[in-house]
Amino acid sequence: MIKLTRLNGSVYVLNSSLIETVEATPDTIITTVDGRKYVCKESVDEVIEKIIQFEGSIRLYADIQKIEGA
Protein backbone atom coordinates (compact mmCIF):
# COMPACT_ATOMS: atom_id res chain seq x y z
CA MET A 1 0.00 0.00 0.00
CA ILE A 2 1.29 3.45 -0.86
CA LYS A 3 0.20 6.74 0.67
CA LEU A 4 -0.79 9.44 -1.84
CA THR A 5 -2.21 12.96 -1.70
CA ARG A 6 -5.34 14.15 -3.50
CA LEU A 7 -5.27 17.57 -5.16
CA ASN A 8 -7.33 18.96 -2.25
CA GLY A 9 -4.63 17.82 0.21
CA SER A 10 -6.40 14.81 1.70
CA VAL A 11 -4.41 11.61 1.94
CA TYR A 12 -5.42 8.17 0.70
CA VAL A 13 -3.75 4.77 0.51
CA LEU A 14 -3.71 2.72 -2.68
CA ASN A 15 -2.89 -0.94 -3.18
CA SER A 16 0.15 -0.68 -5.44
CA SER A 17 -0.33 -4.25 -6.68
CA LEU A 18 -3.44 -3.09 -8.54
CA ILE A 19 -1.76 -0.26 -10.47
CA GLU A 20 -1.77 -0.75 -14.22
CA THR A 21 -0.55 2.66 -15.44
CA VAL A 22 0.74 5.95 -14.06
CA GLU A 23 0.70 8.97 -16.34
CA ALA A 24 1.24 12.73 -16.19
CA THR A 25 -1.40 14.79 -18.03
CA PRO A 26 -0.03 17.17 -16.31
CA ASP A 27 -1.77 15.89 -13.15
CA THR A 28 -0.65 12.41 -12.18
CA ILE A 29 -3.36 9.89 -13.00
CA ILE A 30 -3.13 6.32 -11.76
CA THR A 31 -5.26 3.68 -13.46
CA THR A 32 -5.84 0.38 -11.69
CA VAL A 33 -6.44 -3.00 -13.29
CA ASP A 34 -10.19 -2.63 -12.79
CA GLY A 35 -10.21 0.67 -14.72
CA ARG A 36 -10.59 3.02 -11.75
CA LYS A 37 -8.65 6.26 -12.00
CA TYR A 38 -7.00 8.13 -9.13
CA VAL A 39 -5.46 11.60 -9.32
CA CYS A 40 -2.65 12.57 -6.97
CA LYS A 41 -0.29 15.48 -6.28
CA GLU A 42 2.79 13.26 -6.43
CA SER A 43 4.72 13.13 -9.69
CA VAL A 44 5.01 9.95 -11.73
CA ASP A 45 8.57 9.51 -10.44
CA GLU A 46 7.44 9.94 -6.83
CA VAL A 47 4.71 7.31 -7.30
CA ILE A 48 7.24 4.91 -8.81
CA GLU A 49 9.64 5.53 -5.89
CA LYS A 50 6.85 4.85 -3.37
CA ILE A 51 6.05 1.56 -5.13
CA ILE A 52 9.72 0.54 -5.16
CA GLN A 53 10.09 1.37 -1.46
CA PHE A 54 6.94 -0.54 -0.54
CA GLU A 55 7.80 -3.61 -2.62
CA GLY A 56 11.34 -3.55 -1.25
CA SER A 57 10.08 -3.42 2.33
CA ILE A 58 7.94 -6.52 1.69
CA ARG A 59 10.92 -8.42 0.29
CA LEU A 60 13.13 -7.30 3.18
CA TYR A 61 10.53 -8.43 5.71
CA ALA A 62 10.20 -11.80 3.98
CA ASP A 63 13.99 -12.24 3.95
CA ILE A 64 14.20 -11.43 7.67
CA GLN A 65 11.44 -13.93 8.42
CA LYS A 66 13.36 -16.62 6.50
CA ILE A 67 16.53 -15.89 8.47
CA GLU A 68 14.76 -15.86 11.83
CA GLY A 69 12.82 -19.01 11.01
CA ALA A 70 15.88 -20.94 9.87
- The predicted model scores a pTM of 0.83
Q: pLDDT band for position 62 (50/70/90)?
A: low
**What's phi and psi for 28, nearest 5 deg?**
-80, 125
Write the DSSP string, 13-53: EE-GGGEEEEEESSSEEEEETTS-EEEESS-HHHHHHHHHH
Does residue 1 have a pLDDT over 80? Answer: yes
pLDDT in tens, 20-37: 999 999 999 999 999 999
For the chain, the domains span 2-69
